[in-house]
Amino acid sequence: MTTTATAVPAASKGVQRSGRRPGRSHEGASRPGFAWAAPAAVFFGLFAIVPLILVVVLSFATWDGLSDPEFTGLDNWKKLFDDPIMIKSLWLSLLLTFLGVAVQTPLSILLGVWAAGHQRNRAVLSAIYFIPLLLSAAAVSVLWRAVLDPNFGVPAHAKWLFGDGNLFGNQSTAIGVLIFVSTWQFTPLHTLIYQGAARSVPRVLYQAAEIDGAGRYRQFFHITLPQLRNSVVTSMILMVVGGLTTFDTVLILTQGGPGTDTTISAYYMYQKAFKTFDYGTASAIGVMLVLVATVISLVMVRLTGYDKMNSTMEGM
Amino acid sequence: MTRRNRLPRIAVVGGLALTMALSLSACGGDDSASGGDKIHVLVYGDATNKVEKQLVATFNKSSKVKVVLDTIPGADYQAKLQTIINSKQAPDVFFNWGGGSIKPFVDAGLLLPLDDFIAKDPGLKDNFLPSVFNSTVVDGKAYGIPMRGTQPVLMFNNSKVLKENGLTAPKTWDELLNAVKVLKSKGVTPIALGGGDKWPTLMWFEYLFDRVAGPELVQSAVKGDKDVWATDGSRDALNKLKELIDAGAFGTNFDSVKFTDGGSPTLLATGKAAFELMGSWEYSTLQDSQPDFAKSDLDYSAFPSIDGGKGAPTDIVGNTNNFYSVLKKTKHPEEVAEFLKLMYSDQFVKAQLSIGNLPTTTNTEAQLDTAASPDYAHFQYDLVKNAPSFQLSWDQAYPQTAGTALTTAVQQFFNGGIDVDGFIKAMQGLPTS
């Protein structure tokens, strides 16, 4: 990613720029020295790479946290692939992720584009709307658990809608609650991304479209949406990684219940590690989650051409 | 910006980052518990800590080796204990629930059998109620000393609702079924159940299995005999329970209700439900959250008897008590033994009673009238003292590794996810060691 200190937009292929910084010369273009990345790299290595390697090692061992780990080769992995709860948990993770993306993306695009406009009271409404973003997921989950209490919460007063209010006692409604709560909390974040992106769409495009007689809908579908493409990918990757690693909402809202009907992989990993003290299996689940998330991210980046980093600036 | 030699800067920046990272990762003192002239006592952090602090202060007055009390607050106790117990940070003495909660530590050879202590001072065994003391015996050796209050599971009821419907606290299973029918027809949820927490649901299994199949079934199951789950006694108990669920005793939305967020006790207090089966802490919980109800309409009784069942109607289930266990590698076994003797002192009993806990020492009885609520203390104490069997909660009797599978099966049986055979299969799949 090239950076530029001047207002002149830089194309991606080594353009000689003014204001050269000292740095390692590389085909004539200057790059900041590695020293600038050292602090971050050291931290990342210590707190992300090293633990990840340890987890991979642990996934080939049994360990209860008391005695020394014993290497058992592929045992944990074999057990996992024969474990119906594990297979189910992966599907549940993917389902929750997919539903999250499907619900949040259209919602946040619409809200983001709206918030990028110039209507009256827009700033105030946006500010109010971003409040959920400021709360921790744990607090939000506790709040909704109380609101959705079948005897003393909203369901008790809206029987025509909720029936007996047994939202956490059926798989479909429990998943519905999880999707609703994470949508309520994270849509503002993605809205923020789209708001910024929608604001940076050049006005001239709209002016030209208006001269050509395009209405608001055509403008939205033929100018705004295509211009938001990169932001859609960014936001979707965030949603997918966030969806696959969802944990706190499940921990507080459903505890993986009823039965194992909302036991997603991340929660299953927690149960294996800190409830049944089977760190080997838990590590294997962790590694599996890393692999799944990586593959999905790579596929998304490839499919969307995001890795080509095409500029969408005017005239480029 | 002027050009300078860049090498030092890389070194400086890199070095700085490294020192920061290292200083961060080297947090936590290494004040190893087994070293020095201190005894570290690790306790679950909650309101009872004030009694523990008093006892430690008493002990330290007359002892050269000082006791230090460390607390771990919240529900993470067991997970955190597991991570430190085999490390340098391990305590000398620690709080636990007896039974399955210490079995892995015994198997790993970390705990000190207390038989030598007891040989020197028989009071360390004789001063406690036997049914309680026995839940800390693993493989024939005693590994713990009772150190808090007993928590039997009781049937709590809203006496106002019962009176309004012409009912009394049920003494038999048939009376309970009848009460369920009457209350249901009046639009009251007969029994409040915090199914979202799962462990309140487990209490129903514990009592049904005790009353119908007798306490021996679960005892041998925990020891590793998986066949007992498929016996007639086990099937009868499950069918009886199914009968109760199908009669609508628990309503339909119990899986969305919790005890821990105050949901099910509030149902009882507001008269939306008539009964709740809960550990003896229900009383203090309601005293906090619904003081008026606790004073006037809260009543309690033993679990009903079941005709033709093998278990005595005086059997109880629940958490027998909490215990102090001792690590093998403690450097001060004699001082630890002295400290443990405080657990049957008059001072200990008085202090526990004053905050609403019910100690399980033989000298408790004489002081029951000083309790926070004497009637309740007497009722509980007699129940525990006269119980032929005090079955430790299944999730404490089984090793930790079984906990999740156990509570999952319990929840699925109640919401119809699995049938009798499914439950039996799940129980047979539980690890027992």
* Start-end of H helices in chain A: 38-44, 50-58, 75-81, 84-115, 122-129, 137-147, 154-157, 159-162, 171-199, 203-211, 216-219, 225-227, 229-244, 248-253, 265-274, 279-304
pLDDT at A1 over 50: no
pLDDT for the residue numbered B298:
95
Q: What percent of chain B has pLDDT over 90?
A: 76
pLDDT at A64: 86
Asked if residues B59 and B67 have their Cβ atoms less than 8 Å apart, the reply is yes
| 3-class SS of residue B313 | coil
- Residue A14 clears pLDDT 80, i.e. is over it: no
CB of B6 within 8 Å of any CB in chain A? Answer: yes
Q: A258 preceded by cis ω (within 30°)? A: yes
Residue of A147, A178, A149, A179 whose CA lies nearest to A164: A149
- Contacts made by residues A22-30, CB under 8 angstroms, sequence distance 24+: A22/B1, A22/B3, A22/B4, A22/B6, A29/A2
pLDDT in tens, B77-103: 888 898 899 888 899 999 999 888 898
- Show the 3-state SS of B66-123: EEEEEEEECCCHHHHHHHHCCCCCCCCEEEECCHHHCHHHHHCCCECCCHHHHHHCCH
DSSP H helical segments within B324-417, as ranges?
333-341, 346-354, 374-385, 394-397, 403-414
pLDDT value, residue B6:
45
Indicate yes or no: CB of A66 within 8 angstroms of CB of B267.
no
The pLDDT value recorded for residue A312 is 53
CA distances from A50 to A42, A43, A223, B233 (A): 11, 10, 45, 53
Task: Give the pLDDT mean for A199-214.
Answer: 91
Residues in chain B within 8 Å Cβ distance of A164: 251-253
**Parallel, antiparallel, or unpaired for β B273-279 and B151-158?**
antiparallel
B79 touches A: beta carbon within 8 Å = yes
pLDDT of residue B351: 92
Chain A positions touching B413 (Cβ under 8 A) are: none
Tokens of B295: 């004073």
pLDDT digits (tens, 9 = 90+) for B177-201: 999 999 999 999 999 999 999 999 9
| From B10, B104, B257, residue closest to A151, measured CB to CB | B257
pLDDT of residue B46: 86
What's residue A309's pLDDT? 57
Q: Do B401 and A276 touch (CB under 8 A)?
A: yes
**Chain B residue with the nearest C-alpha to that of A38:** B14
Closest CA to B55 of B352, B291, B254, B323: B352
Q: Which residues of A touch B10 (CB under 8 A)?
A: 33-35, 38
Specify the higher pLDDT residue, A66 or B409.
B409
Residue B37's pLDDT band, with cuts at 50, 70 and 90, is: confident
Which of B6, B256, B401 should be substituted to probe chain A, the one whose Cβ sees the most A Cβ atoms within 10 Å? Answer: B256
Q: In A, which residues are within 8 Å of B102 by CB distance? A: none
Determine the Cα–Cα distance for residues B37 and B42; give it in Å rounded to an integer: 16
Q: How does residue A16 score in pLDDT terms, banded at 50, 70 and 90?
A: very low
The one-letter amino acid code at A216 reads: R
- The position carrying tokens 């330290």 is B60
| pLDDT of B173 | 96
Question: Which one of A22, A145, A149 has the shortest CB-CB distance to B1?
Answer: A22
Whole-number average pLDDT of chain B: 89
- Tell me whether residues A151 and B9 touch, CB distance under 8 A: no
Q: Enumerate residues 363 to 402 of chain B having a beta carbon within 8 A of any beta carbon in chain A.
A: 400-402
pLDDT at B30: 40
Read off the pLDDT of each residue in B366-385 and give the average, rounded to a whole number. Answer: 92
Residue A310: the pLDDT is 56
Which residues of chain A lie closer than 8 angstroms to B85, CB-CB?
66
pLDDT in tens, A103-143: 999 999 999 998 888 777 788 888 888 888 888 888 999 99
Q: Which residue has the higher pLDDT, A60 or A161?
A: A60
Inter-chain touch B408–A260, beta carbons under 8 Å: yes
Check CB contact under 8 Å for A164 and B252: yes
Question: What does chain A come to in residues?
Answer: 316
Q: Which residues of chain A neighbour B255 with C-beta distances below 8 Å?
A: 166, 168-169, 257-258
Position B70 pLDDT exceeds 70: yes
Residue B17 contacts A, CB cutoff 8 Å? yes
Cα of B351 to nearest chain A Cα, Å: 33
Whether the per-residue pLDDT at A243 is higher than 80: the answer is yes
Task: Say whether pLDDT at B24 is over 60.
Answer: no
Closest CA in chain B for residue A271: B404
Residues of A with CB under 8 A from a CB of B: 21-22, 33-36, 38-43, 46-47, 64-67, 145-146, 148-152, 164-169, 255-260, 271, 274-278
Q: Which B residues in the span 253-312 are in contact with A, Cβ-Cβ below 8 Å? A: 253-258, 261, 263, 266-267, 272
Question: What does the pLDDT average to over A154-168?
Answer: 90
The alpha carbon of residue B248 and the mean position of all alpha carbons in its chain are separated, in whole angstroms, by: 28
What does the pLDDT look like over B120-139, one tens digit per residue?
A: 999 999 999 988 998 899 88
Contacts of A163 (CB under 8 A, 6+ apart): none
Please report the number of interchain residue pairs, chain A to chain B, with beta-carbon separation below 8 angstroms. 123
Question: B5 in contact with A at a CB cutoff of 8 Å?
Answer: no
Which pLDDT value is given to residue A254? 92
Q: Average of pLDDT values for A141-153? A: 92
Please enumerate in sequence order all residues whose Cβ is within 8 A of that of B79, keeping only pairs 6 or more positions apart, or say none.
A274, A275
What is the predicted pLDDT for the residue at B75?
72
Q: Calculate how close chain A gets to B17, using CA atoms only, in Å.
A: 5
Residues 6 or more apart whose CB falls under 8 angstroms from that of A80 comprise A86, A281, A284, A285, A288
What's the pLDDT tens digit per position in B250-284? 999 999 999 988 999 999 999 999 999 999 989 98
Residue of A nearest to B79 (CA): A274
Contacts of B9 in chain A (CB under 8 A): 33, 35
Q: What is the mean pLDDT of residues A251-271?
A: 93
pLDDT recorded at residue B270: 95
- In the predicted structure, residue B302 carries a pLDDT above the cut 70: yes
How many angstroms separate the CA atoms of A132 and A122, rounded? 17
Res A307: pLDDT: 65
- B21 contact A CB<8A: yes
CB contact under 8 A, A149 and B86: no
DSSP A222: I
**Contact between A166 and B252 using a beta-carbon 8 Å cutoff:** yes
pLDDT (0 to 100) of residue B67: 96
- Place A159 in a pLDDT band, splitting at 50, 70 and 90: confident
**Model pLDDT for residues A74-93, shown as the tens digit of each residue:** 999 999 999 999 999 999 99
Give the closest-approach CA distance of B113 to chain A in angstroms.
18
Q: Is the pLDDT at A15 greater than 80, yes or no?
A: no
**Amino acid at residue number A173:** T
Which of B29 and A184 is assigned the larger pLDDT? Answer: A184
Q: Is the pLDDT of residue B23 over 90?
A: no
Task: Report the pLDDT averaged over residues A191-210.
Answer: 91
Query: What pLDDT shows up at residue A28?
Result: 53
CA distance B339 to chain A (A): 27
The pLDDT value recorded for residue A12 is 43
Beta-ladder partners of A199: none
Distance from CA of B183 to the nearest CA of A (A): 17
Q: B197-230: per-residue pLDDT in tens? A: 999 999 999 999 999 999 999 999 998 999 999 9
For residue A277, the Cα-to-chain-centroid distance in whole angstroms is 29
